[in-house]
Structure 1
């Protein structure tokens, strides 16, 4: 039997590669090479799967990263660690784009995206408030987040290496 996590990983992969319309039970069972029984064992239909997928997205791409960063010392080290983690995942940009596009068409997804954005910016604000700088920490946190979101949304997206260089530049500017 396929685990709940495998169902959710497959859903995120389909979402990133082909967008929300591709995330159907038929496509998922085809990708996983199994029948629908396991799906209904783990989820209560399409709405249950969507809710679990959005929760998993939030956990994997927001909560988990914050938890990993919290193990380090000062705010600057935490911020640099967070930026490295975010920029180390080569597939995250496609997924972020797909979730944001889906949020434009689905209220539940929009609510989940709002929660994710609020959690991410709140954490960035916390880190930026710990920096020793004359720059408004809340605005600086928003700037850092907007750099990432903007870099992912332009066509073609700005590569992770270039975003890293932009972050290095911005961090040098506040020193």
Structure 2
């Protein structure tokens, strides 16, 4: 495993895995090296120090999150209910749900991470608000429903003990029925 030269992307992926599995406190150089089967020299080939690595991790996560949600603006022709269900599913995508939770936890203690999470959240919130506007809810009602939907999505993310399942999907659907009711 250690004989292959590791790329910066390999280091980023290892960081994601540690964050998702164990949280920010476990994100240490020794843990990263052990996970990749390499020495610290390999790390310093790509990053000047842990601060630079963590900054690269945050930037890469923001880009990944934006890329994974970039299609939200392409959903404008999709009926609002289906659009909202699609957006909520993206938050609970099995590929990212642990990492999403870990990044939000990290954001509680790091202002740079918090700023990145907040900026991404504002883009998602705008798309959710637009779906409620397109469903016929005006100004304040669309805003309130968008905020409630977003907060519930984050809540569903943190309440789930494991990967999202059918029960969670049913709750999400029932929740959307409630918020789209007149």
Taking structure 1 as the reference length, what is the TM-score of the superposition? 0.81
| Structure 1 residues 27-38: aligned runs within 5 Å | 27-38=31-42
Q: What is the count of residue pairs matched by the alignment?
A: 173
Paired with 2:10 and 2:135, the residues of 1 have a C-alpha distance of 39
Kindly indicate whether residue 148 of structure 2 is the aligned counterpart of residue 143 of structure 1.
Answer: yes
The aligned residue for residue 158 of structure 2 is: 153
CA deviation string 1:70-126 (max 9, x = no partner): 344335243333233333x22533323322222222222222232232232223223
Paired with 2:160 and 2:177, the residues of 1 have a C-alpha distance of 27
Q: Of 111, 117, 120, which residue of structure 2 is paired with 1:113?
A: 117
Paired with 1:65 and 1:79, the residues of 2 have a C-alpha distance of 15
Taking structure 2 as the reference length, what is the TM-score of the superposition? 0.79
| Inter-CA distance 36–108: structure 2 relative to 1 (3 Å threshold) | same
Paired with 2:72 and 2:145, the residues of 1 have a C-alpha distance of 19
| Structure 1 residues 29-68: aligned runs within 5 Å | 29-61=33-65, 63-68=66-71
Kindly indicate whether residue 177 of structure 2 is the aligned counterpart of residue 169 of structure 1.
Answer: no
Extract unaligned runs of 5+ from structure 1. none
